[in-house]
Amino acid sequence: MPYANIQITKGATRQQKSEIVKNITDSLVRVLGKKPEHIHIVIQEIEEEDWGYAGMLTDDWKKSQNTNND
């Protein structure tokens, strides 16, 4: 029974999450030969202030990128 845990920052639409689940399921079926009904996928959405990137909280990093592009 494959179990995939996908962590993303908040903001994905239901349609995007649905596409992620379909694509990962299809990949596990194709690569591992697993049955789709045995595959479990969990998407965890994390606030950008709770995610670190490049030594900064993601929301602060995004703000710094916007400042640099102005």
pLDDT tens figures, 37-50: 999 999 999 999 99
Collect all residues with Cβ–Cβ distance below 8 Å to 52 and sequence separation of at least 6.
58
How far apart CA 21 and CA 32 sit, in angstroms, is 16
Structure tokens at 13: 């639409």
- Domain residue ranges of the chain, discontinuous segments joined by +: 3-69
Which active-site residues does the annotation give? Answer: 2
Q: What pTM was estimated for this model as a whole?
A: 0.79
pLDDT of residue 70 exceeding 80: no
What's the pLDDT tens digit per position in 16-64?
A: 999 999 999 999 999 999 999 999 999 999 999 999 988 999 999 989 9
CATH number assigned to the domain with residue range 3-69, chosen from the 4 options 3.30.429.10, 3.50.50.60, 3.40.50.300, 3.55.40.20: 3.30.429.10
What are phi and psi for residue 35, nearest 5 degrees? -80, 135
Bridge partners for 57 per DSSP: 52
Residue labelled with tokens 């990128």: 65
